[in-house]
Amino acid sequence: MGTLSDTSYEAAVEKLNTLIHRNDGDLGPEMRRSWENNFKMTFKHIKILELEEPVKRLSIIHVAGTKGKGSTCAFSESVLRESGFKTGLFTSPHLLDVRERFRFDGLMVSKELFAESFWHVYNRLEEHKDTAPVPGFFRFMLLLALQMFTSQRVDVAILEVGLGGRLDATNAIRAPAVTGISSLGLDHCDLLGNTIDLIAGEKAGIFKPGVPAITAPQPEEAMEVLRKKAADLEIPLEVAPPLETYGLHNLQLGLKGDHQRLNAALAVALCKTWAWRTGNEEHWRSAMVTGGLPESYVRGLEKTRWPGRADIVEDNLDLRDEEPSLEKGSFKFGRLQFFLDGAHSPESMEACGKWFCDEVEVDKKLKKANNKLSNGITNTNGDVIYQRVLLFGCMPRRDPVSLLPPLVNLCSQQGLPVDMAIFAPQSSSYVSITPIKNAPKADFSWQLTLQNHWESLRKSKLEEGNRLSTATGAGSMDLLSSLEEKKGGCQSIGPSSAVMASLPATLEWLRSCARRHPQMHIQVLVTGSLYLVGDMLKLLKH
């Protein structure tokens, strides 16, 4: 670790790593009390940093929700940036680089500004640690965001809630311009409650007196809670109108998937309210005449990018030097495509499955129309062997029994069942933002548990007579047969699954399969954890 006088970016990241506190799944009453005490301490930290007045001058859009809140923030930032405003965006988690959490005008913060701001905040807090202990990782991240947004004088700061709402660090903001709630569902039940109304109550904790609130459509029991909270505060609560209200039936959003239209609609409503409340409504005046959206809003929605959410990466299989069995100059290999989405709740897993199936259908129709493999090689036999592979991972504190069925059922119902599943330990961790030195020997017990759940689910579906895969007997068995247990990076082989030693070993095996099967199109759905998605994007150098 750097010396006390080392104020480099690298030293800042190392120091930041020491602020991560592992809870090992202990989320009982003591943890909840600690959460509440830490939240109260955030106000003291803001005072120590002399940010009280600067934060009051910040113009803020504050968004909570179970699923889609990050996408909503991304849409909002893109829309307002296209409208000519200087934007600041604070989100979590990051995929590849901790600086992704802080974006200015769509670009992640520079290493120079990050380091300068980090040491300013850390050193000031360290000086007062006897009366206010240095906060943990996420609360420190929020303080760092406020320091940077105020010093850079952004026109609007968009803050994504980390967890919950009422006691989240971001809720130390007392006077946002507008608050928003994206789609609600059951997640983090150990902290937020195990019913939708309890969770809605926690999310509604970001509502403030005198600040309008906007929500995506919600289940009625959640809406009742949101309405009551708004009524208690005597503030308006609006359900975001769908995009079709503005005549945008065929708008191609930058983020794919039907569910993203809900997030985009919420973002539009938030940006509109922000514009009118802050005296920046000029771009709305002409749009109001036609009943549509300002052109800048349409551009913003179309240009939105959010890595790891509904992401598609075509892998480069032109690796002839690694395959001596292929003739030099030969391009006769199959196709390997990755579909990556950080879904990690039952509802978002189902939405992820719908997006995956839609994209697969589009690809099949294009291929049929062209009667060619997408790498340009004519498919002389007329058929492509499709293999749909699920690369799944989730944290042990999540329940795979509730996560896997919505995805598997949706794909089966769409006639595009998953042929096989792969489980491998993630490289990234919520207990470190840098590679862990001297990491203990890999423990595959959790991956083996996931595999058992997968095979049990497959068996039950087969017993029910549900359609699973017309290709399981041929394609996937052909792929699995190329694996030898305890060799080549494979730890365990099941009837329709494998546990791999690592993600690099998984990618190497998939590439080898695609290169050795010229007519095979392997479509890999990577989901269940944003950490898993980030690791794969890193390996794919995307």
d(CA 266, CA 248): 14
d(CA 165, CA 178): 14
Domain count, the chain: 2
Which amino acid appears at position 487 of this protein? Answer: K
Q: Which two tokens stand for residue 358?
A: 């839609």
Q: Is 516 annotated in some ligand binding site?
A: no
pLDDT given for residue 541 in this prediction: 81
pLDDT given for residue 129 in this prediction: 93
Please check whether residue 486 lies inside any domain of the structure: yes
Q: What's this model's pTM, rounded to 2 decimal places?
A: 0.87
- Looking at 303, 326, 350, the residue that finishes a domain is 303
d(CA 198, CA 104): 35
What is the CATH classification number for the domain harbouring 159? 3.40.1190.10
Same domain (yes/no): 104, 244: yes
Please check whether residue 143 lies inside any domain of the structure: no
pLDDT given for residue 479 in this prediction: 72
Q: Is 92 annotated in some ligand binding site?
A: yes
d(CA 169, CA 143): 9
- Looking at 303, 329, 350, the residue that finishes a domain is 303
Please check whether residue 439 lies inside any domain of the structure: yes
Please check whether residue 344 lies inside any domain of the structure: yes
The whole-angstrom distance between residue 75's C-alpha and the CA centroid of its chain comes to 14
For residue 179, count CB atoms less than 10 angstroms from its CB and return exposed for 0-12, middle for 13-18, buried for 19 or more: buried
CA atoms within 13 A on the CB side of 127: 7
Same domain (yes/no): 162, 213: yes
Please check whether residue 64 lies inside any domain of the structure: yes
Same domain (yes/no): 372, 513: yes
What is the CATH classification number for the domain harbouring 405? 3.90.190.20
110 φ, ψ (degrees, to nearest 5): -70, 160
Same domain (yes/no): 164, 255: yes
The CA-based dihedral angle spanning residues 211, 212, 214, 219, taken in that order and rounded to the nearest 10 degrees? 90
Same domain (yes/no): 234, 292: yes
Same domain (yes/no): 277, 382: no
Q: Is 302 annotated in some ligand binding site?
A: no
Q: Is 309 annotated in some ligand binding site?
A: yes
Please check whether residue 356 lies inside any domain of the structure: yes
Please check whether residue 212 lies inside any domain of the structure: yes
Enclosing domain of residue 254: 57-115+153-303
Same domain (yes/no): 214, 258: yes
| Residues contacting 91, CB < 8 A, separation 6+ | 70, 73, 74, 100, 101, 103, 160
d(CA 322, CA 273): 56
- Interior/surface letters 70-100, b for 16+ CB within 10 angstroms, e for the rest: bbbbbbbbbbbbbbebebbbbbbbbbeebbb
E-assigned strands of 495-530? 497-500, 520-527
| Residues contacting 178, CB < 8 A, separation 6+ | 61, 62, 211, 212, 213, 214, 270, 273, 274, 277
Same domain (yes/no): 257, 396: no
Same domain (yes/no): 376, 297: no
Q: Is 130 annotated in some ligand binding site?
A: no
52 φ, ψ (degrees, to nearest 5): -55, -55
Same domain (yes/no): 299, 316: no
Helix (H, G, I), strand (E, B) or coil at 493: strand
Same domain (yes/no): 245, 372: no
Same domain (yes/no): 245, 379: no
Q: Which two tokens stand for residue 437?
A: 């030195």
Please check whether residue 418 lies inside any domain of the structure: yes
Tokens 């569910």 found at: 259
pLDDT tens digits in sequence order for the chain, 542 residues long: 444 567 899 999 999 999 987 544 444 555 566 878 899 999 999 999 999 999 999 999 999 999 899 999 999 999 999 999 999 999 999 999 999 999 999 999 999 999 999 999 999 999 999 999 999 999 999 999 999 999 999 999 999 999 889 999 999 999 999 999 999 987 666 667 669 999 999 999 999 999 999 999 999 999 999 999 999 999 999 999 999 999 998 899 999 988 999 999 999 999 999 999 999 988 888 777 677 899 999 999 999 999 898 999 999 765 444 444 444 334 456 789 999 999 888 889 999 999 999 999 987 777 665 555 444 334 444 567 889 999 999 988 888 999 999 999 999 999 999 999 999 998 776 556 766 555 557 789 999 999 999 999 988 877 776 555 444 444 555 677 777 665 667 888 899 999 999 999 999 999 998 888 888 899 999 999 999 999 999 999 85
d(CA 115, CA 100): 14
- Looking at 268, 303, 338, the residue that finishes a domain is 303
Which sign does the torsion angle of CA 131, 137, 143, 148 carry? positive
